[in-house]
């Protein structure tokens, strides 16, 4: 190297150490400002490959996935990631997956998985006006119509100042019916005017599983503890008569031998409709009794109880161990008349006055030869057993017959 007049420069040397940047950007703070989540990092950042992060409400445990769209709902500038997301007051956890942001190194370093808590306190006016609940009601299911999987009650929560706190609306513990907590599986949906941080008029639908309503009843539905975003609680509990109909399925709960010893007495959990012989599968010693051997099913004078009779058939002059006998049997093999595949219940001495007959012999169900007697309610598609509300019974469960 020379200067302008041609003199050579003196020789000069200096040691230089080049440091490779291997430190990833780390999340340092998260705060909520003006409807936006602002996440700050230890260094300047850019968008990276992952675009899905998670927001968790610490009170309800509800997780909300957020898809980051650079320039739409997310801005990467300097050392901050700003996410547009309207949130009601509460405590939250931001879960930032790995490779969401990178630093500005020649070979960019991606962030590692990070979580951080932050609180949301929306600005409200000096609001001292309490919210109100109006129109607690429902449209009950018509008699004779099955209520379906769930039933609903509705009401409207109103607060024109700071808006209804939606978290308190979602809390199922704030509702009772007939003075009791709502059954397990109940939940809440909403439709509101305004934004989630200032919902001034909220139409609330409370969903209740029909299977947990054991009795049709009109009773008081009460709404408590709803608050607005300024913390004001309801001026008075919301109340209204709500009718929920039974969604419980009737059951065959007991069976016993009747007083005549050849009849069955069948008891249901509640009054039922459409009961006939085709609704039952009776088995003796684990062999199915043909429906033709069951007499008509008649209601008894006792609530929810029905009776039927089992009739045996007679075959005469049958070879039994080398002797000619008459037998009482059930035609269980599907072949018309007596055959060796049928279930023989009783062997009688030969009587020349007897003739072959079908379903005419009174069977003694207390006989020791009958060691296994059970009844199963089955679904007859043409006329399934149901209660007066239209709910079908529970089918295909064996009930052992009490013989004593």
pLDDT at 124 exceeding the cut of 60: no
Tokens of 377: 């309610």
Instruction: Kindly report the average pLDDT of the chain as a whole number.
Output: 90
pLDDT of residue 32 exceeding 80, the answer is yes
Which of 282, 296, 294, 287 shows the shortest CA–CA distance to 359?
A: 294
CA-wise closest residue to 280 among 388, 397, 366: 397
Q: pLDDT by residue (tens digit) across 185-232? A: 999 999 998 788 789 999 999 999 998 998 889 999 999 999 998 889
The confidence score (pLDDT) of residue 111 equals 95
Given a cut of 80, whether residue 11 has pLDDT beyond it is no
Separation between Cα atoms, residue 307 and residue 151, nearest integer Å: 35
Beta bridge partners of 359: none
Cβ partners under 8 Å of residue 86, min gap 6:
35, 195, 196, 197
The pLDDT of residue 35: 81
Antiparallel, parallel or unpaired: β 272-273 and 280-284: unpaired
The residues, ordered by sequence, that sit 6+ positions from 298 with a Cβ below 8 Å of its Cβ are 306, 307, 308
Q: What is the structure's pLDDT at 250?
A: 92
Q: Are 194 and 203 in contact (CB under 8 A)?
A: no
In the predicted model, what is the mean pLDDT of residues 320-346?
88
**Chain segment 141-179, per-residue pLDDT in tens:** 888 788 889 999 999 999 998 899 998 999 999 999 999
The percent of residues above 90 in pLDDT, for the chain, comes to 62
Q: Which domains does the chain have, with CATH numbers?
A: 27-120 (2.60.40.1220), 132-244 (2.60.40), 252-400 (no CATH)
Q: DSSP label at 223? A: E
State the average pLDDT over residues 94-121: 92
Tell me if the pTM is above 0.75. no
Handedness of CA 167, 171, 177, 179 (dihedral sign): negative
Give the confidence band of 335 by pLDDT, cuts at 50, 70, 90: confident
Tens of pLDDT along 56-91? Answer: 998 888 899 999 999 889 999 999 999 988 888 888
CA 378 to each of CA 173, 264, 273, 307, 355: distance values in angstroms, whole numbers, following the listed order: 39, 16, 14, 16, 34
Tell me, what's the pLDDT at 33? 86
- Which run of H or E residues covers position 166? helix 166-170
């Amino acid at each position: 190297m020379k200067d302008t007049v041609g003199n050579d420069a003196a020789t000069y040397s200096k040691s230089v150490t080049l440091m490779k940047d291997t430190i990833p950007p780390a999340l340092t703070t998260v705060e909520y400002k003006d409807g936006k989540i602002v996440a700050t990092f230890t260094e300047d950042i850019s968008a990276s490959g992952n675009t899905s992060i998670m927001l968790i409400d610490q009170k309800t445990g509800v997780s909300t996935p957020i898809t980051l769209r650079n320039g739409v709902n997310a801005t990467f500038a300097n050392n901050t990631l700003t996410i547009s997301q309207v949130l009601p007051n509460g405590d939250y956890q931001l879960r930032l997956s790995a490779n969401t942001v990178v630093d500005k190194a020649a070979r960019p370093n991606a962030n590692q998985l990070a979580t951080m808590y932050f609180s949301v306190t929306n600005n409200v006016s000096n609001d001292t006006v309490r919210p109100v609940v109006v129109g607690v009601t429902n449209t009950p299911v018509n008699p004779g119509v099955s209520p379906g999987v769930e039933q609903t009650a509705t009401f409207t929560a109103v607060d024109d100042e700071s808006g209804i706190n939606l978290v308190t609306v979602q809390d199922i513990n704030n509702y009772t019916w007939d003075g009791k907590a709502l059954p397990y599986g109940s939940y809440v949906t909403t439709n509101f005017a305004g934004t989630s941080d200032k919902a001034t008029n909220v139409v609330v639908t409370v969903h209740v599983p029909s299977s947990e309503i054991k009795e049709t009843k009109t009773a008081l539905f009460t709404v408590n503890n709803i608050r607005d975003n300024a913390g004001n609680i309801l001026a008075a509990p919301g109340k209204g008569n709500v009718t929920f109909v039974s969604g419980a399925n009737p059951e065959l709960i007991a069976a016993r031998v009747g007083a005549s010893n050849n009849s069955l007495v069948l008891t249901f959990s509640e009054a039922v409709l459409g009961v006939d012989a085709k609704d039952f599968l009776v088995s003796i010693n684990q062999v199915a009794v043909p429906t033709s051997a069951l007499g008509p099913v008649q209601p008894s004078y006792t609530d929810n109880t029905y009776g039927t009779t089992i009739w045996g058939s007679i075959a005469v002059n049958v070879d039994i161990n080398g002797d000619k006998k008459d037998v009482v049997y059930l035609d269980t093999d599907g072949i018309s008349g007596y055959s060796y595949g049928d279930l023989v219940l009783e062997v009688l001495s030969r009587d020349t006055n007897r003739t072959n007959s079908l379903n005419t012999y009174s069977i003694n169900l207390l006989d020791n030869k009958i060691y296994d007697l059970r009844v199963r309610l089955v679904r007859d598609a043409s006329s399934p057993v149901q209660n007066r509300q239209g709910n079908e019974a529970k089918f295909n469960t064996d009930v052992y017959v009490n013989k004593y």
